[in-house]
Structure formats: structure tokens, C-alpha cells
Amino acid sequence: MYKKQMMSHIEQKVYFNLTPGKIYDIQFIKQVAGVNVETLLVMLSKLAKKGWITRLKRGVYLVNYPDKRVSEDIFIVAQDIFNGYIGFSSALYLYGAVDEFPSVIYVCTAKKSISITVNNIRLRAVSLGKRATGMITYKDYFVSSKAKTLYDCFYRPELSGGYSTILSAVSRLQLTASDWKEFIFYVEKFGNPSFSRKIGFLLDLLSKKTKILIPDSVFSKLNTGSQITKLGSGKAGKFIKKWKLVNYIGNGDLFGRLFYG
């Protein structure tokens, strides 16, 4: 267990009038402390060094819990810092589609791309521009909907554990017909024929290797365009006539997580 250093009387006054796990700006803390700015900055610096608070950025602080370094809900901390919604592998985790606690907490934003570390956990804001949409409230979180999460994961597989993780997650997301319709909406709005056919091929392969039911309308919408596209890279690719696609990724790499954990 992480052992924090003792607080002075004035430090205790400030700390115990704030709520652990919450984020405060310096103006609010100044009202609680009742001291001038110079004294407050010294106090906050000492509290941070002792482990009671964490400086997130200039004038903004996270109040740590008394018995641990990490906030009980680092996801809420992340979305509050970056003013965005939880996405990619972090959203998959919140939906129970993956079991491992994410090594990075991803927050989707319209413009901001930045990475910071809070209590040894990396928080990363990812700018999606016009694609920063499809957010819902899920439990206590602002998170991409299941359909938007799946789209985002295919759009940036490197932030989602790769195709093997994504395909394994599809089987656990339990998408409804409405979810699939929403998913196609994002693919058609933000994608292109090459991107669509890559997804179509992967989902088609998934449906053949598992008992996952994917509406036929999904495949018909995804099978668009005529220019041959590639999935992966290498020398020995396999041409898939149905999807006008050359696949360079082996089934072991695509489905290893689904079948072997």
C-alpha cells in the first residue's frame, strides 16, 4: 500500500474539505483554504509531493484517496480532464467486451490530442475531428455508444488492441439490430469503400467461424466499391473475390484472442 506523508494542520483543513476522486481548480481551493495565492501554491506543492493530491495541469488538481494513489474512478477523471468521451479499448472495457484493465485510458475529443500521466496511469486524448460524435451516458460515464465504439475501433485498431481484440469484442458487445444500423450509419458517413470492405470481410469471416448473428443488410451495405483493397501487408496475400480484397493477415492473428484467450 502506498504510504503518504503526514499533513500539517492547514493542509488537513484543505484536504478534508475536498472530495477524494474529484477535480478542483485553484480558485475553489483558495476559497476553502482562506489563504493568499502564494501560500496556497506552496501548500499545494507540498500536498502533491506527499501524495495527497495530483497536479493535472496548471491550476487544476485531483484529490487522491487516503489509502491509495489511484482515484477509484480514473475514467471519470480522464473524461473530466479532457472534456471528451471514453473510447476505443477503454470503452470496450467499460462495456465488458474485454477483461483487462486498459493500459491507457483513451478519451475522444474533437480537437485535443495530448497524453498525461496521473498516478502512474496514462491518460490520452485522441482528436477525432468530425468523427467525435456518438457519445452516450452509460452508468456514470460519457462513452461512445456500442455501435460508435465498434466503428472507432475499426477506424483506429492500434488504439483498440488490434483486429483480434476487436473481433473478440464483437461477440461480447451483443449488438442489437438498432446497434448495427447505427454502426452502418457511421461507416457510410465517415468511411470509404475500401474501409467498408475491410470491415465487411472481417465480420463475414467472424460470422462464419462463430455463431454470431450479423444482419445480412450489414454485409450488403459494406460490400461497396470496385477497387481492390488490401488488409495488412506482405508478400503472400490471399485474394477474396467476394470482398475484392487481398488479405495478408492469417486467421491465427485475427482470431487468436477469440479462440485462445
Amino acid identity at 199:
I
pTM over 0.75, yes/no: yes
Confidence of residue 120 (pLDDT cuts 50, 70, 90): confident
Q: Is residue 221 scored above 60 in pLDDT?
A: yes
Instruction: Return the higher-pLDDT residue of 260 and 158.
Output: 158
Cα–Cα distance measured from residue 112 to residue 82, given in angstroms and rounded to the nearest whole number? 8
Return the axis-axis angle of helices 37-50 and 26-33, rounded to nearest 10°. Answer: 100
* Residue 248 Cα to chain centre, angstroms: 27
Would you state the cell numbers that stand for residue 162, as one nine-digit string?
Answer: 488490434
- Convert the pLDDT of each residue in 13-24 to its tens digit: 888 889 887 888
- Give CA–CA dist 192/57, Å, rounded: 38
Residue whose C-alpha is closest to residue 209's, from 163, 166, 259: 259
pLDDT over 60 (residue 72): no
Mean pLDDT within 175-190: 97
What are residue 98's phi and psi, to 5 degrees?
A: -135, 155
- Between CA 114 and CA 176 the distance in angstroms is 34
- DSSP string across 71-97: -TTHHHHHHHHHTSEE-HHHHHHHTTS
pLDDT at 98 > cutoff 70 = yes
Residues 6+ apart with CB under 8 A from 214: 180, 203, 206, 207
Which domains are present in the chain? 9-63 (1.10.10.10), 74-260 (no CATH)
In the three-class reduction of DSSP (H, G, I as helix; E, B as strand; rest coil), residue 246 is classed as: strand
Which pLDDT does position 70 carry in this prediction? 46
DSSP per residue over 85-133, as a string? Answer: EE-HHHHHHHTTS--SPPSEEEEEESS--EEEEETTEEEEEEE-GGG--
User: Residue 21 has what pLDDT?
Assistant: 77
pLDDT band at 152 (very low <50, low <70, confident <90, very high): very high
Phi, psi values for residue 111, rounded to 5°: -130, -30
The residue-averaged pLDDT of 4-32 equals 85
Split at pLDDT 50, 70, 90, the class of 1 is: very low
Cα 187–Cα 89–Cα 182 angle in degrees, nearest 5:
25
Taking a C-beta distance cutoff of 8 angstroms, is the pair 82, 47 a contact? no
Average pLDDT, stretch 126-130? 97
